[in-house]
Structure 1
Amino acid sequence: MARLHNQDKAKEFDKWVMWKQEGSREAETDLITQFLPLVTKVANRLAIGLPSNVDKDDLISYGRFGLLDALAKFDHTRGLKFETYAMWRIRGAMIDGLRENDWIPRTVRDKAKKIEEAYVILEQQKLRTPTDLEVCEYLGITEKELQQVCYDTSLATMVSIDEAVGDEDEQKTARHSYIVDEVTPRPESVAENTSLREVLSNSIDKLPEKERLVVSLFYFEELTLSEIAEVMNLSPSRISQLHSKAIFRLRSSLTRWKSQLI
């Protein structure tokens, strides 16, 4: 089995060489065909948390552009796994497509912003992660209303976790530099990224147990929200709420970290 796998990888590498170095259009077409199923895979995963008015065919259309971009920019000589890089690019293209079409209602954006602000302010005041009750009291809403807001904004927060802290150019570097490294990273960038990872790790450790489990299963084990719901014996809507609250807490930690850098 391992021998067959190595043979497949060797054939794939030969295709990269034939296309990138020899200009073979046939090899390019073969690679596109080989990796096209990644687009559907990413679309199915992302669609779990999307409202029903978002058409999965639109996601697939956006994702195909992401795949082509990934194929064009991938450096086959570095010995890295293309699938990992491509899935980030495909997902990013889908998210960019959704943003360009401004599918998230302004009211949903406003609600998400108010909750994020509440978590930031309360965490700074109390020097700890605020509870749901404290957030509700600060916003003047009931816990049921908070849960509904978290559900309504679940995709908005799902998108936000992929955004790096910094200006637009820095975000592009932070998102992809661990795979596509065209220049040697500056020492200060390495230190900053290391610090960011530590902040995220510590912040995740401080999350309430259920929220921490959702983050772990979704981002590290790569389960869908529906699969997580089965594992935790909760409804998908409840998992979306837990995910949203976890991201709001993490964003408040990143906001505080960013303010300390200035």
Structure 2
Amino acid sequence: MTQHLALAQYAVNAVAARISLPAHVSREDLLSCAQVALVEVARRFDAGAGATFATYALPRLQGAVLDELRSGDWASRSVRAAARRSDAAADALAARLGRPPTRAELAAELEVSPTELSALQVDVHRAVMVSIDATTNDDGGTFDVPAPGDTPERAVVKRERARHLHEAMAALPDRLGEVVERSFFGDESLTDIAVDLGVTLSRVSQMRARALVLLHAAMSEAWEERPVVAAGGVRARTQQAGYVAQVLERTADRRPVASRALYPPPPRTPAAVRRAFGQPA
């Protein structure tokens, strides 16, 4: 058994090459099953029968792996066979038509009714399983189960972006900031805001539009490090330049001097955050 231990891995690879392993199936589990089967095969092997141990063991190990797969499959053999016929028919129709077939065309190709085809697909979908131990992707979630929360990097970036936006709103001129806060966070209509401020509705709309332009310029400069060319006359350009400079000053690091002596200042831009997370601990 020790001499032919590699046969277990070979049997798993042979089965995996013949069929598509479900996403929730672990190769390590199949390998353990094949190794346990190798023990039983070694006990039953009769050297006087004329066959080598590898010739005798390999098909039995593959059968043990297939039995393990079937034991964990919620779909019956008939459902799996019908699903394979359906997939083959869909591929043939797609090659012949040059497009994915409709449900009616697929049912006609299989010589079944659309109702029977739908029932088959429901049975196959019921047998689909996912793994909570699936490999994570680049976004921090899993391929099978969505991530329950943000990754540490995404949480830091979200918190820093919210801080920049808060500082940018606080730096808006009084009336512009009030219009933005009441319209977006207070759920007040522009008409009510215009009555309270004693201006026309069109003037409130202009104030909100101007505030959004300034916020966009400040967030692009402070958060994305991408300057936005000011539009309008000299007064508008001067206002935007002064406002952006004020936001950049407000979003600068404000940590106490004593804490800076012990800890490095945290990153304050997306690029700095990504660089910080890319460095080794």
TM-score normalised per structure 1 = 0.31
Larger-Rg structure: 2
